[in-house]
Structure 1
Amino acid sequence: RHNIENFIGTVKVPVGLAGPLRINGLFARGDFYVPLATTEAALVASYSRGSQLITSAGGCTAVLLNEGVQRAPVFAFATLAEAGQFVLWATTNLEEFQRAAEATTRHGKLRDMRVTVEGNHVYLTFEYITGDASGQNMVTIATEAVCDYIEKNSPIRPRYHFLEANLSGDKKASAQSFLLVRGKKVSAEVVIARELVQERLHTTPERMVDYWRASAMGGVLSGTLGLHGHYANGLAALYLACGQDVACVAESAVGVTRFELNEQGALYASVTLPNVMVGSVGGGTGLPSQRACLEVLGLAGPGKAQALGEVCAGLCLAGELSIIGALCSGDFSRAHRKLARGRERSKEQG
């Protein structure tokens, strides 16, 4: 009853395991088998191939760089002068805002406030630490308490306000992604020896760097936010399997992949994602199937959310290595013909 309204049933989506994926992180350490829920043939096979490649190379380094979740209410005033006076008052009352917000939650902490003035409108972006929860509901309730405090105590009364004014980046890709953080900012890297690239991906480090360079220009020409092959594939499948808010793939699947040759002629590969929205408690993580998937990862319950963020980075790195390897070797189309369309042909022949 805490997950859905007007309930009529459930939808079954196949779940496969990708791995083992070895991660040498600050919080995630060891070999992980990652549950992925998808109806897209070849997806689990591709992420599994990338994961096994990383593991054979000794694992990837993964680091949680920052974390925070925002809500951004707007307050409207009669004039720009009133807006300026309100800003002066608000910036001296952060401690009161923190008390109001933190009275609504046992786990959330109001860490920071940023101010944006547009004419007679003032946007206050409140940034929270949300513990092991993804935190959207937590920060919404906490920010409402702050807005109530402002309405009651501000010497400059706003004409009206809205709890969220589209400045937080919630469920959308935005240009502020690389300057700030939403959820968890994570990065992962690995060095793949030339022999492993040739053996597992059937191509060379040089050709993969050539592809990365060409795709970087393609991203510039098309105006994409970030530069990567397909973060959304792995994140959506993991989010669905593990009870995350799947709509948050909109901001989570923003980031940068980078390939280069090192001095030994091996392939250096890295990914950085500034907006990974995941939690190990709350929301859909308590549903039986989703909790079971988190338990397969060993990341169910309190104290596991930061590790889950690092696993997401490692998974995206695995996916980038595999898909770019397939595009370089010519296996990309062949894999989809074999794994997706092969079944259709067998049925037709039968």
Structure 2
Amino acid sequence: MKIVPSSVQLLLERLRATYTAEEARLRLSRQAERAPERTLRSAREASSANISSLWRQLGAAGVEIAGVEQELADQRTLEQAERYSGNIEAMVGTVKLPVGVVGPLLVNGLNAKGLYYAPMATTEAALVASYARGAMVATRSGGVTTALLNEGVLRTPGFKFSGLIDAGLFVEWVARNADELKAAAEATTRHGKLIALEPIIDNDIVFLLCRYTTGDASGQNMVTIATDALCAKIEQDCPVKPLHWFIEANFSGDKKASYIGLITGRGRKVSASTVIPEALVEKHLHVSIDRMLAYGEMANLGALLSGQMGAQGHYANGLAAFYIATGQDAACVSESAVGFTRMERREDGLFVSVTLPNILVGSVGGGTGMPSQSAALSLLGLKGAGHGAALAEVTAALCLCGEISIMAAIAAGHFSSAHEKLARKR
């Protein structure tokens, strides 16, 4: 009878062939004597002088920097170093990624209207080609219909009390003083608005779900600063004192796939759809509608049985490439890549829709002001104030294009051959 799974068994066999038990213990033991006395010293501001200083320190520490420094700290980066000061610490350079463009993508949205050329930064061959194929088919079908359905970025502080009674009294006080708490939060920002304050009690712990609109910004830092001011107002005025509290109690779904995000949304909730005439499905996707629907039915079952949050093909692919290109917080892909893709046969063709409840994008703030990312937003035509909602709708439309293409490729049996052609054998 096997007790250890075969994969673990193989690992143990490889380790025994490499180390004795004593050698392994020594290799994994603490080595405080090897800790250097000095750590890297760097100014918070990014500048060519501070970048050069860090490279000198790395060289003095024994790091092989020949050729490395020139590649990361190229002349263009050094000339524009100050533009990165609000985005990074201990800056030593920039990393270059290839950027492809998808378009024209015709969007018929409540906020986004017209033809868009979407930049995507990725190292995955076949990705841009796939999204471009989906965009071509959607555009030739009359475009993608998009609508921003809801918005609100969550921050959820948590408060610990001595018991359930105090927790209840605290919630009662919050309800009576909601207007004052709203004023305290909104005093920290010109653009953020506290639109909901919902207490959740778990015995002696209270979570406050603080939901904000954030203008054209993604708003992660904005809502954190606003909520901190709200909590300071509570600490100052509330007669029911918590034993302790924390600015984020891991309830908001920040940078995590969560059910609260799936159901109520965190960021901007957008739905996008198109109807592809049967002739275009067969001509450009090289598959029948019935075959697409058969794949969709099986894929939905797979999502259900494996416990996925939502049911979709690969939102994360398009979101990661688009977020990096346009200066969004790439870590937010972890929550943005949740949602639902649907396919149905309609009288006029194949209906395909996506709904993403957690799109976290901004046309201002964050990394949108960095040189390359600012240029990418300009290419898209959505740089600066007034474009946040449109940017969210284009994001959903781009995800729809990716879903159309990947589902068609798998349904037609072309998924492996496309990657082999565009990636392995290019």
In structure 1, what is the equivalent of residue 330 of structure 2? Answer: 246
What is the alpha-carbon distance in structure 2 between the residues aligned to residue 268 and residue 68 of structure 1? 28
In structure 1, what is the equivalent of residue 215 of structure 2? Answer: 131
In structure 2, what is the equivalent of residue 295 of structure 1? Answer: 378
Conserved 8 A contact 2:268-2:358:
yes
Residues 1-350 of structure 1 mapped to structure 2, 5 A cutoff: 1-264=85-348, 266-343=349-426
Conserved 8 A contact 2:262-2:309:
no
What is the alpha-carbon distance in structure 2 between the residues aligned to residue 130 and residue 93 of structure 1? 22
What is the alpha-carbon distance in structure 1 between the residues aligned to residue 280 and residue 173 of structure 2? 60
> Which residue type is aligned with residue 111 of structure 1?
I
Stretches of structure 1 that go unaligned for 5 or more consecutive residues are: 344-350
> Which residue type is aligned with residue 402 of structure 2?
G
What is the alpha-carbon distance in structure 2 between the residues aligned to residue 334 and residue 315 of structure 1? 23
> Which residue type is aligned with residue 315 of structure 2?
Y
Q: How big is the shift at 1:175? A: 1.2
> Which residue type is aligned with residue 352 of structure 2?
A
Q: How big is the shift at 1:332? A: 0.8
Q: With CA pairs under 8 Å and 6+ residues apart, which has the higher RCO, 1 or 2?
A: 1
In structure 2, what is the equivalent of residue 348 of structure 1? Answer: none
Q: How big is the shift at 1:179? A: 2.0
Q: How big is the shift at 1:177? A: 2.4
Structure ID, larger Rg: 2
> Which residue type is aligned with residue 339 of structure 1?
L
> Which residue type is aligned with residue 52 of structure 1?
M
SS in 1 for 2:97: coil
Q: Percent identity?
A: 57
TM-score by length of 2: 0.80
Q: How many residues align?
A: 342
What is the alpha-carbon distance in structure 2 between the residues aligned to residue 19 and residue 42 of structure 1? 15
Q: How big is the shift at 1:246? A: 0.2
Deviation per residue, 1:102-140 (Å, 9 max, x gap): 111111111111111011001001001100010000000
In structure 1, what is the equivalent of residue 61 of structure 2? Answer: none
Deviation per residue, 1:73-121 (Å, 9 max, x gap): 0111101000000010001111111110111111111111111101100
What is the alpha-carbon distance in structure 1 between the residues aligned to residue 351 and residue 294 of structure 2? 13
Root-mean-square deviation (CA), in Å? Answer: 0.7
TM-score by length of 1: 0.97
Q: How big is the shift at 1:226? A: 0.3
Conserved 8 A contact 2:252-2:260:
no
Deviation per residue, 1:14-58 (Å, 9 max, x gap): 000011111000010111110000000000000000001000001
Q: How big is the shift at 1:155? A: 1.0
Conserved 8 A contact 2:155-2:227:
yes
SS in 2 for 1:209: helix
> Which residue type is aligned with residue 64 of structure 1?
L
Q: How big is the shift at 1:263? A: 3.0
In structure 2, what is the equivalent of residue 347 of structure 1? Answer: none
